[in-house]
Amino acid sequence: MITIYKYPLKLVGYTTLEIPEDFSPLCVQTQNEMPVLWCEVNTDHDMVKANIVSVQTGDDIGKMNLEAKYLGTFQTYDGELVGHVYLLP
């Protein structure tokens, strides 16, 4: 079945997701002051691990793999914390 699932993320740092392979990230937004990633998934596919990282504006991301895929930006606490979310290869 193809559907949309949401996956809570850490405000800052790494989150490992168990997610159906070949997922399609749709957007990153906050819900209840926490970042959430929405993805289109096929629940009939095998599960894989996806490594996601959230970094704050101003963080050094030079050590992050250059092949990381940008997924979105979120703001929380009235814009006091701005995070940027990447999918690591």
Give the pTM.
0.91
| Residue 63 binned pLDDT confidence (cut-offs 50, 70, 90) | confident
Q: Picking from 38-42, 43-47, 50-54, 60-64, which range would have the lowest pLDDT averaged per residue?
A: 60-64
Q: How far is CA 58 from CA 61, 73, 83, in A?
A: 9, 13, 10
Residues in the chain, total: 89
Interval 15-28: pLDDT, tens: 999 999 999 999 99
- Counting DSSP H helices and E strands in the chain, the numbers are 0, 7
Query: For residue 66, is pLDDT > 80?
Result: no
